[in-house]
Structure 1
Amino acid sequence: MIAPGQTIDVLVQADQPIANYEMAIGPYVTAQNVSFQNISAVAHFQYSGANLNKASEPAILPAFNNSLVYDSHLNGLRSLSADYLPLEIDTNLFFTIGLNIDPCNRPNPSQTCTGNNGGIFRASMNNISFVNPSLSILQAYYFKVPGAFRPDFPSKPLKFYNFVYGAPNNIPFNTAAMNSTRVVELEYGSTVQLVMQDTGTVTTENHPIHLHGYSFYVVGFGVGNYNPSTAMFNLVDPPYLNTIGVPVGGWAAIRFTANNPGVWFMHCHLDNHLSWGMSMAFLVKNGVGPLETLPPPPADLPRC
């Protein structure tokens, strides 16, 4: 199962009997009552010497919303090497991710406020909906320009509740998000564990979360609310990815070492969720020496 925007290296072992084979792909969709293109595609894999007149066995795809297939696929991914997996953690983070409903404040509510209870759809992490700053966060950080962002993105949710099975989605605008531009500041070389928890405030959904500037180890995932006392982690050979589809109504845990200085965006790879604010940024401080320091902008950097 490949999430939107995700890249995976695959090693194919051609060790089957000489014949024709089919490789098929189809959509995986977990959102409720959302239209999508239910289109599949088939590629043909032919061994040299195969009988071209003999049809291959038809590929059978699972149902478009079969999350059990996704979970089993994720559970089967392994790294060939996990030499850089952090075992001791300096920074523990817990982010909720999900949709929100903001009160309608627009002049034509019947046309533009199509969310639940006549509100506006938003999306958030830790109930903070990202707002694009007036100035690049990286530029503001490098030149010490005040007011472009806040360095206090919360390390845990502002409110705790039954994230999956008891989300407060039946009270008008109880799910309104806080609009803000905030980052998590990290010391250079610090090790980070981030648990991302899907919520059911509007609906549970598989969210493909992508982190710029880093790949990360997916050390655990599960269905339901994350429980640190029962969660099972793979600290031997976890997959090394740049995007993780957080399971629908579940959670995923990732680890990485903050050794790339700068400002790095993390966001959902579903375009509408990104535009609604399901994103945040990590600000990784400089280390020691030129190899651990953010370089200056190029002389021909375009000016806004």
Structure 2
Amino acid sequence: MLLLAIGIVLALAQGVQAGVTRHYNFTIQSHKVSKLCSTKHIISVNRKFPGPTIHLDEGDRVVVKVTNRVPHNMTIHWHGVRQLRSAWFDGPAYITQCPIQPNQTFTYNFTVTEQRGTLWWHAHINWLRATVHGAFIIHPKPGLGYPFPKPEKEVPLVFSEWWKSDVFKVVKQALGTGGGPNISDAFTINGKPGPLYNCSSQDVFVLNALPGKTYLLRLVNAVLNTELFFAIANHTLTVVEADAGYVKPFNTNVVVIAPGQTMNLLVTANQAPGRYFMAAHSYESGQNVTFDNTTVTAIFQYQQASSSSPPVLPPLPFFNDTKPVTAFNNKLRKLATPEDPIAVPQTVDQHLFFTVGLAVENCPPGASNKTCQGPNGGRFAASVNNITFTVPTTAILQAHYFNTPGVYSTDFPFSPLVKFNYTGPSLKNLNSINGTRTKVAVLPYGANVELILQDTSIVTTESHPIHLHGYNFYVVGTGFGNYNSSLASTFNLVDPPERNTIGVPVGGWAALRFKTDNPGAWFMHCHLEIHQSWGLDTAFIVNNGKGPSQSLQPPPADLPKC
């Protein structure tokens, strides 16, 4: 007791307080919204698009009661929150929980441990994250500051989309025809398309800036299927964080952010007073891919500027220019200070090699041509190690915890079942799918894992933003072409960036390392929503370690049932 009291006194003396519990109520509901000359009902949280921003301090407990008032199943995923021993609250439908059914409630209850920065939350079922999403901001513990000068103001910038059509119909049409999906009608920044679109001259987000002051922009890419370039006209951006991990600050004129990723930037109002566009448009690395090639804008406005002066538009890279993407990502390095230590595994216990990419399934015998509109008269599919993932009807975590048979198999291959020249030019007729199944990979607690993600060119090489639930990982290497083991000598084991979502380079590979210190069932998938729907997914089961502190907690009493 004396030691405990001394510890509390010391913590208070240093300005570090114990975490508090923060309560939120989320009501999922439909409401009418008008944009781009159209009016439609959208599904959102608390009638907000984007949804409410959650603010908390590192170490706080978060309690969110979610009430579903729409005729669709629902889940909420807390993207990037590690959910240490609390996988029940991670949120992907049929992976860690059965969905919240209409007119039902579920309370997410978890503690944010050893994390700070910008993350986000979103629906994790049936493309509903198109409108059900919001920022999740973790401030440093009270008394602790940032590793950079305190900004004048912190401003979330959430990139998303406006769809005149129903996203349910979009994915249903794509899966029904076997072809690609239709695209959205506009990108948005904080729910506003900006003045470059028709009928949106007044629907624009404006950041009012004081001359000489520095602002922290918290970027979230909630777009369904598109990576983005972002810039502010005439202003230099300083990157200080990626995926809620501090990085060594560097200056840039353009930022690259993939779906699922978050990023913190500093910008100083040091130009002539005026109005400057903050602008974003697509980075699309795949060939012959239909995408939204429009530009979304918001305004960075000096307070002395006339509201009638025309804003300046920043130059952005061409939509398929991979060079600035590579240059930007190569600059990311973890801060790696005593206050923000690094723990990249120096040795490896388990080597994994996963191919990721699109594929084509042959048209089933007797099927209508209307259902086989993919390449070569087939149907689009996607796979990891030649396996197209099938979402079960019972949550994998529940089946694992209660030893329920028949929900999944544990024989997911640790290397591709079909080996070939993964980035070769002549793969159009190769059918690399080796079954559509619910397979998972089982890993022991406490293992140092190295995972190589290899893009493939069966349909087209493409940058794939791969998100791993339950873990951060260190990106120790990336490159183009086919990976081989000799490239391990080039890995950065000193200050690699720590992320939860990695854009695997187009026609290339990414090497990740992490330690399996979080038991549970953890989804890994492409954050391009259509690729996830086509099966570019898999899951890990990490077994319990020794004792309660290394074991999954019991499920909550109100866990939804399938």
Is the structural similarity TM-score above 0.5? yes
Candidates 256, 268, 278, aligned match of 1:14:
268
Change in Cα spacing, 1:184 to 1:83, as seen in structure 2 (3 Å) is same
Where does the alignment leave 5 or more consecutive residues of structure 2 unmatched?
Answer: 1-255
Please give the per-residue CA displacement for 1:55-102, whole angstroms capped at 9, x wherever unaligned: 775310010111111111110111112522111111111100111111
2:300 is equivalent to residue 42 of structure 1: no
Identify the structure with bigger relative contact order (alpha carbons < 8 Å, sequence gap 6+). 1
- TM-score, normalised to structure 2's length? 0.51
Candidates 400, 420, 426, aligned match of 1:161:
420
Partner of 2:451: 194
2:370 is equivalent to residue 111 of structure 1: yes
For the 8 Å contact 2:269–2:302, the answer to whether it is kept is no
Candidates 376, 383, 386, aligned match of 1:127:
386
Partner of 2:522: 264
- 2:257 aligns to what SS in structure 1? coil
- TM-score, normalised to structure 1's length? 0.91
Q: Where does 1:89-238 land on structure 2 (aligned, <5 Å)?
A: 89-105=348-364, 107-166=366-425, 168-170=427-429, 174-230=431-487, 232-238=490-496
Paired amino acid for 1:255:
R
Aligned length: 301
Paired amino acid for 1:120:
R
1:108 Cα shift? 4.0
Please give the per-residue CA displacement for 1:231-268, whole angstroms capped at 9, x wherever unaligned: 53221111111111111111111111111110000001
Where does the alignment leave 5 or more consecutive residues of structure 1 unmatched?
Answer: none
1:118 Cα shift? 1.7
For the 8 Å contact 1:169–1:175, the answer to whether it is kept is no
Aligned residues with identical type, % of pairs = 51
1:170 Cα shift? 3.0
In structure 2, what is the Cα distance between the partners aligned to 1:51 and 1:275?
Answer: 47
Candidates 529, 534, 541, aligned match of 1:283:
541
- 1:142 aligns to what SS in structure 2? helix
For the 8 Å contact 1:100–1:123, the answer to whether it is kept is yes
Partner of 2:552: 294
Change in Cα spacing, 1:286 to 1:43, as seen in structure 2 (3 Å) is same
In structure 1, what is the Cα distance between the partners aligned to 2:348 and 2:483?
Answer: 18
In structure 2, what is the Cα distance between the partners aligned to 1:196 and 1:12?
Answer: 31
Change in Cα spacing, 1:58 to 1:271, as seen in structure 2 (3 Å) is closer
1:216 Cα shift? 1.2
Paired amino acid for 2:521:
V
Q: Which has the larger radius of gyration?
A: 2
1:18 Cα shift? 5.8
2:292 is equivalent to residue 33 of structure 1: no
In structure 2, what is the Cα distance between the partners aligned to 1:85 and 1:267?
Answer: 22
In structure 1, what is the Cα distance between the partners aligned to 2:313 and 2:265?
Answer: 23
Candidates 64, 68, 71, aligned match of 2:323:
68
1:50 Cα shift? 7.2
1:179 Cα shift? 1.4
Paired amino acid for 1:75:
N
For the 8 Å contact 2:388–2:433, the answer to whether it is kept is no
